[in-house]
Chains A and B, each alone.
Chain A
Amino acid sequence: QVQLVQSGAEVKKPGASVKVSCKASGYTFTSYGISWVRQAPGQGLEWMGWISAYNGNTNYAQKLQGRVTMTTDTSTSTAYMELRSLRSDDTAVYYCARDGSSDPGGMDVWGQGTTVTVSS
């Protein structure tokens, strides 16, 4: 079946970096894009960015520009999201989701979420 499986929970100190993986299966990875969405405790959904698994094109949320990098490894059908210079307000559950191939659209398949805790 179509699924996205994310890496496990992370605890990081302020200023550190985190890299979350998202392994796709059950579909042709390069025919879609991957969006990353995060949700701080008790808060709503925040779109972080999108990457085309076909050609690696990216588009990031302006507030994260310079701190976030999204990549894909087509040999393993895995997407990655790296967030640097972590702050306490980056504490959130991070989701990957299957999205449009050339631009974001409706996200129809979601990973299970990865909890990232930033604490000294």
Chain B
Amino acid sequence: AIRMTQSPSSFSASTGDRVTITCRASQGISSYLAWYQQKPGKAPKLLIYAASTLQSGVPSRFSGSGSGTDFTLTISCLQSEDFATYYCQQYYSYPPAFGQGTKVEIK
């Protein structure tokens, strides 16, 4: 099974910061990667699929890049509503695995 590793596991940032979260796959997954945002007590929300395609309705400050084994999620200008936990997920092969999550907290 493919393992997904996110870094960092958590960090603090301020509104307006540019933040980057990385996700590494244990083997190549082409661009079969999605990013989700989850707020406490809520269901996850799809942000990006196919590594870099923005889901409809998601603000353009979110962007994704990468292919193969290394991927990044960037938030260009952090807003108050962006403080949440972010997960990557590969869907290249079964089982579709999630990373362990990255919690973005307010500094």
Contact = CB atoms under 8 A, between A and B. Distances in A.
A binds B: yes
Residue with the greatest number of chain A CB neighbours at <10 A, chosen from B55, B87, B96: B96
Interface stretch (B11-19, B40-48, B74-82): B40-48
A32 to B, nearest CB: 13
B44 A62 contact: no
Interface in A18-71: 35, 37, 44-47, 50, 59, 61-62
Interface string B81-107: 000000101010011111111000000
Nearest to B56: A108
A62 B46 contact: no
Q: Is the interface of B mostly helix, strand, loop or mixed?
A: loop
Contacts of B87: 44-45
Interface residues of A, number: 23
A90 interface: no
Contacts of A59: 94-95
Interface in A70-113: 95, 97, 100, 103-108, 110-113
Given A106-B91, A108-B55, A47 B45 contact: no
Interface residues of B, number: 24
A106 B46 CA distance: 7
B34 interface: yes
Given A59-B94, A95-B43, A106-B46, A44 B34 contact: no
Nearest to B85: A44
21 contacts: A35-B96, A44-B98, A44-B99, A44-B100, A45-B87, A45-B98, A46-B98, A47-B96, A59-B94, A95-B43, A95-B44, A97-B44, A105-B32, A105-B91, A106-B34, A106-B89, A106-B91, A107-B36, A108-B55, A110-B43, A113-B43
Interface of A: 35, 37, 44-47, 50, 59, 61-62, 95, 97, 100, 103-108, 110-113
